[in-house]
Amino acid sequence: MKTLRMTLAAVGLSAVSSLALAAANPLSVHVLNLENGLPSPGVNVTLEKHVAQTWQPLAQGVTNEQGRISELFPAKQALEAGEYRVVFKTGEYFKKVGRDTFFPEIPVIFEVKNVEQHYHIPLLLSPYGFSTYRGS
């Protein structure tokens, strides 16, 4: 019983510390597979900022077992107002899971106006369609 309580306490602390870390980072993403209702681990995601006429690479990550990247924005940079693009490499993901897809990648362009806010971009994914929105 003591071991169970210690394990539950450790899991709770881990969840709290993950939330605290995510709160410090201004950008997170989450990918859910609508076909099976499960998170999509192993999706490569890139972050870029629109500068002049080009997209400047800022960061990249891979979704974890929960389909999340809780800290996508570079830790040593300050979030600035402007246009950003998150690109989900969905073709690579579907190839790994043995499925065809119509969308080899899904770019999501969004605008940061308030640098004090957290930006969360969920992607609801299927092989032949997707949806995204501003999450919390």
Flag whether 120 is marked binding: no
Domains and CATH numbers, the chain: 26-132 (2.60.40.180)
Q: Which pLDDT score is estimated for 24?
A: 84
pLDDT at 15: 45
pLDDT of residue 6: 46
Determine whether the annotation assigns residue 128 to a binding site.
Answer: no
Instruction: Scan for tokens 């071991």, then name that residue.
Output: 3
Low-confidence residues of the chain: pLDDT under 50 = 3-22
Q: Pinpoint the alpha helices (H) of the chain.
A: 2-24, 90-96
- What is the predicted pLDDT for the residue at 2? 52
Q: What pLDDT shows up at residue 16? A: 45
- 68 belongs to an annotated ligand binding site: yes
Cα 108 to Cα 43: distance, rounded to the nearest angstrom: 14
- The pTM score is 0.82
